[in-house]
Structure 1
């Protein structure tokens, strides 16, 4: 081959390579420019890149679902809570700490140049939202902790991430058990349903109407001791509770009572003992009969709420749900969606 032909061949190859790079760059730009408009849990209409390549989460429930959909690697910023979570931290090792869910470090978030920020709508301060929006960063509020709107929230997240198939698979699994609990308890007369005090993470804080905990109790056919109150999270006294005499007490354990993935039941056991010795509680039916239960925050509300519901359903109606194995449901769920083996203590006592 002559030198001239070699030179022409080289020039041709270079031109082809340049064109290929230009086409690839153009296609990447097109992907980056693609957007989708959604309505979030607060009823806000938000336009976001689809799918986002850089995500900051201020909502641990959304973070868990993002991991379940296979997009953990796109989380560039995460809350301290998520990064300290023994299970989720394995999935988001490269994410930077942006602080707390309700009071994040906005400057750190902006520096990460995210395509979208996911947060809890009821708790993130308006000034934080405004600062992010001024920086051109869309903020999406998705609850992903309320049973009644779980399917809707998961479906919206699936649209944003372009993970519709994964979202529908998760919804189908969640609703299978949600419907089972509702179907089996729907015909139980009100006066035959156990009266339950479901204590939130903070001591003496009730699960009132509109709270995620109240929705769980409704879903398993329980009588919520706070059903007639006006507030979602009212504070109560020992005297108030003793006078109403609940038949079952369930405590949602926050990080102050270590439980869940990789933890032992020791802290939950200690918390149960402390609660049963609160002033006057020895007169409460639930305490006298030993029906005081600890429930990890990991399965309380959120994407794995059906596991918590399964335990609660068995505590309230052991015969009606004798064929249900909450641990087996949890094990299958973790393996199926997160590729994680079940380990740790999530309730105390189990029966």
Structure 2
């Protein structure tokens, strides 16, 4: 009898081990999202809904070999917000053109019934959609049918939440090592700026950071003490709107810009033809026409808000890819901003090379420049 029991125990242990390594096996894992919520998810997840199409920026960095193999649906924003990147992915992975698409939580067009029908293991939602998600009661509705929702954030407080967001997705995907490698590369790239600034302690220029300049006729949207506003500070500048805008995003009136007389101006831009056809926006981004972008950037300096300011007089007006504000690649933006603000200190720093390395190590696409332009001499 003892021999039989021992044999049975060994057999059971072998069966459990076999299940653990079987491809279809999923363990229930408790994760904590960026809001502090604890959520139970069966991992590694195999069926994922992206609450925003631009979440492919971090999904691709973790699932380089097959970035869409887990995705069963996504929001329909990437094609309009970043058409060049969408086209590049579509060319390489034509099947994504048939992926089910959703509207947004914030504008009330997310179809929860469609989401349930796709039977996802998890729904990834950006933090900025939290209020709309809760007001609509989606979390409770999804919980009743066993679909967990977790929040990530690369937009509201990216300098705080990027690392925990990447670790969270790495855990869900079973890609913890890749996530840690990415985080280490990010830290190293930021240190290439902050270590120099700490050692040299240069005078910090006053910087006006304009959000989506030329997107509309209104002027001027900007950033408080987060997102691009925080990136300016990390890169060795003083964010002009830091004490004017209480939150992450807000508006500065033209008179304030003229009165503050910033040393440098940085405008975020992208190809927004799908939103504002023929707009005055500066179309920087993946493979952008830099000459055209520079021409449109110069046109923005003619607006009344920039009348007579130092940055325009000295040509220290620059444009940078807007989508750095909503993905884990912000460290590239920090390097480029630092190079604009302190060209002598960062003469040997090459943000373009950093971005190339990011693509080579983590992303499935070939790199194409076009993410930054400047009116400064020699650029």
TM-score bracket relative to the smaller structure = 0.7 to 0.9
Tell whether the 8 Å contact from 2:297 to 2:318 is kept in structure 1 after alignment.
Answer: yes
Tell whether the 8 Å contact from 1:262 to 1:345 is kept in structure 2 after alignment.
Answer: yes
The answer on 1:289 being equivalent to 2:290 is: no
* 1:253 aligned partner: 269
Deviation at 1:88, TM superposition (A): 4.2
Q: Which runs of 5+ in 1 are unaligned?
A: 1-19
1:100-119 deviation line (CA, Å, top 9, x unaligned): 46443333322211111111
* 1:141 aligned partner: 151
3-state secondary structure, aligned to 1:321? coil
Residue in structure 1 matching 2:336, options 301, 311, 327:
311
Residue in structure 2 matching 1:38, options 31, 34, 38:
31
C-alpha RMSD over aligned residues? 2.6
Deviation at 1:143, TM superposition (A): 0.6
> Residues 130 and 199 of structure 1: is their aligned pair in 2 closer, same or farther, counting only changes over 3 Å?
farther
* Range that drifts further, 100-109 or 322-331: 100-109
3-state secondary structure, aligned to 1:147? helix
| Whole-Å separation in 2 of the counterparts to 1:25 and 1:329 | 39
Residue in structure 2 matching 1:116, options 108, 115, 122:
122
Deviation at 1:301, TM superposition (A): 4.6
* Range that drifts further, 64-73 or 232-241: 64-73
* 2:205 aligned partner: 194
1:169-217 deviation line (CA, Å, top 9, x unaligned): 1111111011221111125558x101011112365112102x3112211
Deviation at 1:28, TM superposition (A): 6.0
3-state secondary structure, aligned to 2:45? coil
| Whole-Å separation in 2 of the counterparts to 1:130 and 1:268 | 46
| Whole-Å separation in 1 of the counterparts to 2:21 and 2:193 | 51
Structure 2 length normalisation: TM-score? 0.78
The answer on 1:96 being equivalent to 2:100 is: yes
Residue in structure 2 matching 1:339, options 355, 364, 372:
364
* 1:80 aligned partner: 76
3-state secondary structure, aligned to 2:164? helix
Tell whether the 8 Å contact from 1:260 to 1:296 is kept in structure 2 after alignment.
Answer: yes
Tell whether the 8 Å contact from 1:155 to 1:168 is kept in structure 2 after alignment.
Answer: yes
Residues 90-239 of structure 1 correspond to what in structure 2 (within 5 A)?
90-91=92-93, 93=96, 95-100=99-104, 102-103=106-107, 104-124=110-130, 125=132, 126=134, 127=136, 128-145=138-155, 146-187=158-199, 192-201=203-212, 203-209=219-225, 211-229=226-244, 230-239=246-255
1:251-290 deviation line (CA, Å, top 9, x unaligned): 1114424331233235533541332011152311111111
* Range that drifts further, 250-259 or 322-331: 250-259
> Residues 105 and 273 of structure 1: is their aligned pair in 2 closer, same or farther, counting only changes over 3 Å?
farther
3-state secondary structure, aligned to 1:86? helix
| Whole-Å separation in 2 of the counterparts to 1:101 and 1:345 | 31
| Whole-Å separation in 1 of the counterparts to 2:142 and 2:29 | 19
| Whole-Å separation in 1 of the counterparts to 2:242 and 2:338 | 18
| Whole-Å separation in 2 of the counterparts to 1:188 and 1:244 | 26
| Whole-Å separation in 2 of the counterparts to 1:117 and 1:141 | 9
Tell whether the 8 Å contact from 2:284 to 2:293 is kept in structure 1 after alignment.
Answer: yes
* 1:322 aligned partner: 347
Structure 1 length normalisation: TM-score? 0.84
> Residues 275 and 79 of structure 1: is their aligned pair in 2 closer, same or farther, counting only changes over 3 Å?
same
> Residues 159 and 199 of structure 1: is their aligned pair in 2 closer, same or farther, counting only changes over 3 Å?
same
| Whole-Å separation in 2 of the counterparts to 1:46 and 1:152 | 15
Q: Which runs of 5+ in 2 are unaligned?
A: 1-14, 273-280
> Residues 26 and 181 of structure 1: is their aligned pair in 2 closer, same or farther, counting only changes over 3 Å?
closer
* Range that drifts further, 193-202 or 318-327: 193-202
3-state secondary structure, aligned to 2:339? helix
